[in-house]
Amino acid sequence: MTTISAYAAKSEDGKMAPHEIKRRALGEHDVQIDIQFCGVCHSDLHAVNNDWGNSNYPLVPGHEMIGEVSAVGDKVSNFKVGDTVGVGCMVDSCQTCEACDDHLEQHCLNGATMTYNSKLKDAADDEEDITQGGYSKQVVVNDKFVLKVPKNLDKAAAAPLLCAGITTYSPLHQHGVKEGMTVGVIGLGGLGHMGIKFASAMGAHVVMITTSKEKAEDAKKLGADDVLVTKNEDSMKKWQGKFDFLLNTIPVGHDVNPYLSLLKYNSTMCFVGAIEPLEAVNGATMIGGRKSLAGSLIGGIKETQEMLDFCGEHNVISEIEKIDMKDINDAFERMKSNDVRYRFVIDMQSL
């Protein structure tokens, strides 16, 4: 067991402060990682504020980790000391159920163990019984949940790939986004900006759908071919029925009907953002246009590795603002007021 420094929220006021946590002694399939960078996801903010009603305190968030392997267990063969690796939203699953067999560990029928705020049924004596995340110096993870990070990618800017990256890559990939399709990405934040980059790398005509007129120029630089500002009614009319696929990253419940009317017949809008109730959907729009609503949760480990390899090949990384650990409370405030361009990444040396 090792005691390490971290930053935790102690209650649902969400204020982050220094804290110490225990990491288990290295098991034979474990990889010990010295965390160098950790991205700040809107889910971290939801979790520290107990927005989903399931937060356990003290809570150490962080599921976009990049670091260097500092030790490996006896039976680990695919990682060695010094490797640059990543850890995302999951750290374990049963590995025996149908979902795990299908490489969809996030849907493990026995419950995947998430990187933080997951209760462990069989915690070792020397570890916490609730998982604690990457706003910390070090982590110990089963080798099946450790990812290889292509060497050509900047480490800090690659950290957000571990959640924002896979969460947008997976639905675009699963819904067959390709050249010739018009794809709308709704909400230009951490997830949305990765959505633009991936949809554009997959060859689609990409439209950024935003509430913020002032983000238009950035959206184009990120790879959007067009920008639709939702507050402009004429633009909303112009784009009605034009989209083959919509990726919706809005972080709160909202009226989905104006977005549904943007879809072509026989097309899908996939939610990744609002993990909460949505306003009523008009059945007439759905039935009349044979439209579908879908959802998507991160991605399995195999697909996450594929996404990282795709990023290595296409040089896809996140646009980041590096911060020190002590500035996390300001970063959360800025995230709340939609002032992030487009992902905060904590430099863990500052802890």
Residues 300-339 that bind ligand NAP (CB under 6 A): 335, 338
Which CB sits closer to Zn ion, 141 or 227?
Answer: 141
CA dist list (Å): 190 to 31, 44, 152, 161, 253: 28, 12, 21, 10, 18
**Is residue 104 within the footprint of Zn ion (CB under 5 A)?**
no
Identify what 191 binds: ligand NAP, Zn ion, none; CB under 5 to 8 Å per kind: ligand NAP
| Calpha distance 5→344 (Å, rounded) | 20
Query: Taking Cα atoms as reference points, which of 141, 195, 133 lies closest to residue 166?
Result: 195
Identify what 189 binds: ligand NAP, Zn ion, none; CB under 5 to 8 Å per kind: ligand NAP
Query: Taking Cα atoms as reference points, which of 240, 246, 203 lies closest to residue 225?
Result: 203
Residues 227-266 that bind ligand NAP (CB under 6 A): 249-252, 254
Options 163, 227, 262, 345; binder of Zn ion; rule CB under 5 A? 163
Give helix 301-314 / helix 164-174 axis angle, nearest 10°.
100
DSSP state of 55: -
**Is residue 349 within the footprint of ligand NAP (CB under 6 A)?**
no
Tell me the chain's radius of gyration from C-alpha atoms: 20
Identify what 215 binds: ligand NAP, Zn ion, none; CB under 5 to 8 Å per kind: ligand NAP
For ligand NAP, how many residues bind (rule: CB under 6 A)? Answer: 30
**Is residue 41 within the footprint of Zn ion (CB under 5 A)?**
yes
**Is residue 298 within the footprint of ligand NAP (CB under 6 A)?**
yes
| Calpha distance 28→205 (Å, rounded) | 47
Options 134, 165, 187, 300; binder of ligand NAP; rule CB under 6 A? 187
Cis peptide before 259 (omega within 30 of 0): no
- Residues near ligand NAP (CB under 6 A) are 41-43, 46, 163, 167, 187-192, 210-212, 215, 249-252, 254, 272-273, 275, 296-298, 335, 338, 340
- Residues near Zn ion (CB under 5 A) are 41, 43, 163
